[in-house]
Structure formats: structure tokens, C-alpha cells
Amino acid sequence: MPELPEAETIVRGLRPRLTERRVSDVEILHADVLRGEEEAFVTGVRGRRIEEVGRRGKNVVLLLSGDRRLVINLGMTGRLLVADRTDTPESTHPAVRFLLDDACHLVFDDVRRFGALEWLDPPAWRERDRALGVEPLSGRFTAKGLRAMLERSRSPLRSWLLDQRRLAGVGNIYAVEALWGARLHPRLPARSVDEAGARRLHRALRSVLRRAIEAGGTTIRDYRSADGARGEFVVELEAYGRAGEPCRRCGTEIERLVFSNRSAFLCPRCQPAPTG
């Protein structure tokens, strides 16, 4: 999906355009992207004002009047596009359209419809928020804290990083990139990372996420920001999608390996395989 940097880029684009706007109407084109009842969703959202536009992990969170939240998980191919008219060149698979102040549209567009839109009251939001791990760019995420969390798990590092209950917002691209940056093998068991390794991983995670936000995220194929722009971080990827190409640190060919049904990429020299 859109991972943390892509969600953050979308949020920054949406914020000035959505804040203080009223949702005057909602049009559901594909009800399967709604979690929960369509009726409840429409009546819950319609007529409310958008007070804040935020992010939690990979989720875009719109705070609506009456302390309700519209939580949007973009899945693999979800987009949130703002447009004056109903249709834009970027909106190829509209699933939900929000009419704002009878003036412009917020379109949730999703080719594969793995995305999910949910309308939450305060208790449901608290529960959702609690289920997600620490924000990796917040001050609460420290190298020490990371080390302590890693010590409690035998899970391979790449799987460990993808679990949203531990860190919120890291997906396959940035997990792979951070592990390359920290010189740690994706299959290395979390608890065998030493203190220096944990410090490198902490630093690499924050660095790659920050740099990706600066570049407006990574567009492989479908991802677009709120105004339809592509994410330019793709040219800065060191490992993800580079199988067979030389490692930019040592020149060794980047390898692809598959586990947990997903591709990982690594430099076999910089990121030595765990022994045993």
C-alpha cells in the first residue's frame, strides 16, 4: 500500500483543502470498501464538518464534527483525490465520492478495492488506536525501546517490521529499505539483533521514512498524492525491486527472496544471512 510516507503525503495535500469543509453528500459506488453498514456510514458522515485531517500509521483519519472519525485504510491501490468536478483523469476506479460544501469532491478511488473506509465513534476509535503500535517518527520511538521490543520476538525482522501492532506505518518497501540501511538480513530473528544493530535499525527506519516523505512517497504503479502527483522516492530505492542490480554500497548483486508470501530484497554481502 501506500505506507506511512504515502499516507503522510496524502494527508498534507488534503489538509488545506478539506479542513472546515462540510460533507454535503456521499455517493457509494462500491459498497465493498465500507466496513460496516452502508446506511450507517452514509448517515453518519453526511452533514458533518471536517475538523482535522490526520494520520495514524498507514491510515488517513478525518476528524468530523461530533467527535466522530472517518478512518481510511488505502489498501494496495487506494487513492484520495480532491477535484472540482466528479471525474478527473486520475480517478479511474471511483468507489466513494464525497461532495464537499456543494463545491468540490473528495474521491476514494481504488482499483483492487482492498481499501477500507470506516466511520468510528470515540470508543471504537480508541480501540483501533490502541491496536496500532508506536509511530516510528514520534519521540516515543527510541532505539532503546526498539531493542526491548525486538528482544521479545523470534520473528524474522521483515515480518516483525510489517506487524502494525508493533510499529504503525511500515510496509514492505520501507521494511526492506530500512533493513538494507541497517545491514540486517530480512530473515534475522528479531531477538538476535544486538544493541548496535537495533540502533542502526532505528536510525535507518526514521531516515528512510523521512526521506520518503520529502520525496512525496514512492510510486510503483498506482499511488498518487491528493492532487494526483507521483511519489519520487522510487529513484532512491536501494534494495526494493532491484534484484540483479548492483548494491550501491558494495556492488554485489541484490537478491530477491520470498517468505510469508511476499518479496524481500537484500544485498547478500552487506546483509549476511543468519547462521544456523
Characterise 158 by phi-psi region: left (phi > 0), alpha (psi -120 to 50), beta (else). alpha
Which cell numbers hold the place of 64?
A: 468530523
CA 184 vs. chain centroid, Å, equals 22
Q: Which is nearer to DNA, 104 or 215 (CB)?
A: 215
Catalytic one among 21, 55, 56, 58?
58
The verdict on 221 binding DNA (CB under 7 A) reads yes
| Nearest distance from C-beta of residue 47 to DNA, angstroms | 28
| Nearest distance from C-beta of residue 76 to DNA, angstroms | 5
Q: Which is nearer to DNA, 104 or 111 (CB)?
A: 111
2 flagged as catalytic: yes
The verdict on 32 binding DNA (CB under 7 A) reads yes
3 flagged as catalytic: yes
Among 56, 58, 147, 242, binds DNA (CB under 7 A): 58
| Nearest distance from C-beta of residue 159 to DNA, angstroms | 4
Rounded Cα gap, residues 77 and 5, in angstroms: 15
Which cell numbers hold the place of 17?
A: 483543502
Catalytic one among 49, 262, 268, 269?
262
Q: Which is nearer to DNA, 153 or 252 (CB)?
A: 153
The verdict on 218 binding DNA (CB under 7 A) reads yes
| Nearest distance from C-beta of residue 247 to DNA, angstroms | 19
User: Position of cell 482499483?
Assistant: 111
User: Which residues inside 159-178 make contact with DNA, applying CB under 7 A?
Assistant: 159, 162, 164, 171-173
Residues classed as catalytic: 2-3, 58, 262
Which residues make up the interface to DNA (CB under 7 A)?
1-3, 6, 32, 57-58, 73, 75-77, 93, 111-114, 153-156, 159, 162, 164, 171-173, 190, 217-223, 231, 258-263
